[in-house]
A and B are shown apart, each in its own frame.
Chain A
Amino acid sequence: GENVEQHPSTLSVQEGDSAVIKCTYSDSASNYFPWYKQELGKGPQLIIDIRSNVGEKKDQRIAVTLNKTAKHFSLHITETQPEDSAVYFCAAGGTYKYIFGTGTRLKVLA
């Protein structure tokens, strides 16, 4: 069935360093790729998304890249700050249904 693999499952970086999280999807019909941030005790919140007709998108310290041929997409966070510490989920979707990755727990060390 449809699947989204996400790596790594945990990631620790020093404050100010960059963090990269990678996802691979299986359904070639997927055309929408959101990234969600989930803080403890809260619901997931969208931080950035990308559509299949775009290869890269940037919003301040956050960027996402998409390689449709390889079915890969990645989240890049630069100049990490302690408040970036959270669980990050990628998702792949089309129409209404999103398949979520298993999450990456990011810890930014001060």
Chain B
Amino acid sequence: DAGVIQSPRHEVTEMGQEVTLRCKPISGHNSLFWYRQTMMRGLELLIYFNNNVPIDDSGMPEDRFSAKMPNASFSTLKIQPSEPRDSAVYFCASSPVAGYYEQYFGPGTRLTVT
């Protein structure tokens, strides 16, 4: 299996622009997670989907952030408009069953907002 796939790997954009990050979970996994990693705040859960339905979005920082999962093999995280403080590494992870099981992380997208 190819593992969790994320694109792009690196994104540099100017403040105010829209940014879309993409994720393809491992086939057969029904749970998907978006995380943000920064030096200051570490790894933070942004949103959790189960069977394509958002279950917990309490970690989404503000209305500028939105996430969708239109089908079992694709998810997006969108930031509109982007701000310099959004600069971070964004990880997508998937799990066969939520709860007691390993979360498989993708390679991440490094976002820089200038």
Residues of A at the B interface (CB closer than 8 Å) are 31-32, 34, 36, 41-46, 49, 51, 89, 94-98, 100-103
Tell me whether chain B's interface is mostly helix, strand or loop, or mixed: strand
Tell me whether chain A's interface is mostly helix, strand or loop, or mixed: strand
Cross-chain contact A32 with B99 (CB below 8 angstroms)? yes
B4, B48, B106: the one within 8 Å of A97 (CB): B48
Residues of B at the A interface (CB closer than 8 Å) are 4, 31, 33, 42-43, 45, 48, 50, 55-56, 91, 93, 95, 98-100, 102-108
| Contact status of A43 and B99, CB under 8 A, knowing A100-B42, A100-B43, A102-B42 | no
Cross-chain contact B42 with A98 (CB below 8 angstroms)? no
How many residue pairs link A and B with beta carbons under 8 A? The number is 49
Tell me the minimal C-beta distance from B36 to chain A in angstroms: 11
Cross-chain contact A95 with B98 (CB below 8 angstroms)? yes
**9 A-B pairs with C-beta separation under 8 A:** A36-B105, A43-B91, A43-B93, A44-B43, A45-B105, A51-B100, A96-B95, A96-B99, A100-B42
Residues of B within 8 A of A103 (CB): 42
Tell me the minimal C-beta distance from B19 to chain A in angstroms: 19
CB-based nearest A residue for B102: A46
